[in-house]
Amino acid sequence: METTKTTWGPEEIDRHVLFFARSGQLERICSMVSNGANIVDICEAERIRVDLMMQWLEGKPRLETWKAAERCWENWARRRIMAEVQRIATLDLRQAYAEDGSLLPVKDIPVEVARAIESIETEELFAGHGLDRDKVGVVRKVKFTSKLRALELMGKQLAMFVERAEVSHKASLEDILESMHHQPEPEIAPRGGNLS
């Protein structure tokens, strides 16, 4: 396997050195991550290598601040996912349609409705053949994310659903007495005596 060596010019070195030396940089990055930013996107925007960013963030004096930012990001992600699930679970599909029942143009569909659309298939209908054909209609099939699945996910997150298993054993009183009758009786030692 061939390895290629990257040579850095003075501009790349200066950009990295200045970036990491900038006052308040750790707090700025951690604040961005805590509020949902992605470290890869930050590096791309700043033109900084991800591997060097991670080495810098995980350095001893910065590690605790970075770990706290990661925990905040995880909390942000959980809340964001639950908010998205909640939007899908409570979505009013009528908002995707005009008063005449036709599907709104995609650009006019409200954002909260558009987030719940998995796909839109469009098929144009024609009458006639070849150059003599005329467009007579359009069929659009809209597939929305499952509201039932979203409600199920919310319920699980909130521990609203408890899965129960039913265990049943059928035995009559006679069966129980019979099983007790066939068990060997325990040996009882006489007072002060030993079992032989």
- pLDDT tens digits for range 33-92: 888 888 899 999 999 999 989 999 888 888 888 888 888 888 888 888 888 888 888 889
Answer whether residue 115 is part of any domain.
Answer: yes
- Looking at the fold, whether 130 and 142 belong to one and the same domain comes out as yes
Angle between helices 25-34 and 39-46 (to 10 degrees): 130
- Looking at the fold, whether 47 and 107 belong to one and the same domain comes out as no
Answer whether residue 174 is part of any domain.
Answer: no
Q: Which two tokens stand for residue 195?
A: 């079992």
- Residue 76 domain boundaries: 10-89
Q: What is the pTM of this model?
A: 0.52
Q: 151-187 burial, b for 16+ CB within 10 Å, e for fewer?
A: bebbeeeeeeeeeeeeeeeeeeeeeeeeeeeeeeeee
Answer whether residue 46 is part of any domain.
Answer: yes
- Looking at the fold, whether 85 and 16 belong to one and the same domain comes out as yes
Answer whether residue 28 is part of any domain.
Answer: yes
Query: How many domains are contained in the chain?
Result: 2
Domain boundary pick from 38, 73, 89: 89
DSSP summary character for residue 191:
T
Alpha carbon distance 89, 116 (integer Å): 9
Answer whether residue 47 is part of any domain.
Answer: yes
Domain boundary pick from 55, 72, 89: 89
| Residues β-bridged to residue 124 | 138
pLDDT of residue 14: 86
| Residues β-bridged to residue 137 | 125
Give the model confidence (pLDDT) of 113-167 as tens digits: 998 999 999 899 999 888 888 889 888 899 998 888 888 888 887 777 777 767 7
Answer whether residue 23 is part of any domain.
Answer: yes
- Looking at the fold, whether 34 and 100 belong to one and the same domain comes out as no
